[in-house]
Amino acid sequence: MKGAFPGRIAVVGSGAVGCYFGGLLAHAGEDVHFLMRSDLAVVRERGLTIHTKGEDVHLPKVQCAGSTEEIGPCDLVLIALKTTANQALERLLPPLLGSHTALLTLQNGLGNEEFLAERWGAERVMGGLCFVCINRTAPGVIAHVDHGSISIGEFRRPAADRTHLVAAALQRAGIEAQAVADLVLERWRKLVWNIPFNGLSIAANGATVADVLADEGVRSIARGLMDDVLAAARALGYEIADSFADYQIERSYSMGPYKPSSMLDWEAGQPVEVEAIWGEPWRQGVAAGASLPRLEILYRLMQRLTAIRRNDD
């Protein structure tokens, strides 16, 4: 492998995901610059703290800015904005782009790599699948609850040298990271968990992961939703074994009363990523010939609940 990639890194979307991965990279010595808004003054004064695995990682001095113009061109951009804010990227990303800048989206759901590729070129685009339980508990404070791996892949092409270099940088930061050959397959694998647990957290009136698992009926609904995700993936040519869904159920018990990110957005009155997490997977699966009745029900419920919230506002 050649070069010193990842080099200068920008984090766009400095919430739980962006601060966790960006913060650990910075703690390991990488040159990381955070775009921050509401947390900017606090982080400049107090730094960034990550509570993880029984220890506290504290960065007293954080390179953070209130605009991407202040940051300037970077070698790698980690995109951790909610997908509901994707249009803002058209304004935020150009000041960060050099001739060879790579864009790594850590966002949920489907369609995010396509959004970036259409605007800034497919050759720049990478995707990361984060399997981690983290919450932002206060300005500049991130709590790592459970798990903590990330899979890195290229948009519509196999893993390249740069894919492995990014994974290696994350590994040096103490993160379980791997380069994957098929990014879309990995996105569907993540949806096996995200679709039921994020959706039911809202549709089942504030159900934590522990609540879903403890209620036999709701747990059965979650497992049925996983079956629909597997059917959609298979219709599109991505084979995921039934045992993977069982594995996702079992590994969720250690999360305890964890609130998925969609539930936190809902409780905070923030937009929920309905189309990226439920709408686009349903549309793609149905277009490929899959029957997805449970996924459609959840998607329609999410549409209605969020529409009622918007109308009330």
Torsions phi, psi for 10 (to 5 deg) = -115, 145
Integer Cα distance of 19 and 50 in angstroms: 8
Task: Point out the catalytic residue in the list 2, 61, 82, 190.
Answer: 190
Could you confirm whether 2 is annotated as catalytic? no
CA torsion through residues 83, 85, 89, 92, sign? negative
Q: Which of 26, 19, 6 is nearest to 173 (CA)?
A: 26
Range list of β-strands (E), the chain: 8-12, 31-35, 48-52, 55-59, 64-65, 74-79, 97-105, 125-138, 141-154, 176-179
Integer Cα distance of 31 and 4 in angstroms: 12
Cα 45 vs. chain centroid, distance in angstroms? Answer: 28
90 burial via Cβ count (<10 Å: 0-12, 13-18, 19+): exposed
30: three-class secondary structure by DSSP: coil
Q: Which ranges of 94-215 would DSSP assign to H, the alpha helix?
A: 112-120, 161-172, 183-203, 209-214
Query: What does the block give as tokens for 209?
Result: 């992961």
79: which strand partners?
Answer: 12, 105
Enclosing H/E stretch for 126: strand 125-138
Task: Yes or no: say if 12 and 68 are a contact pair by the CB < 8 Å rule.
Answer: yes
CA torsion through residues 156, 112, 210, 52, sign? positive
Enzyme catalytic residues: 190
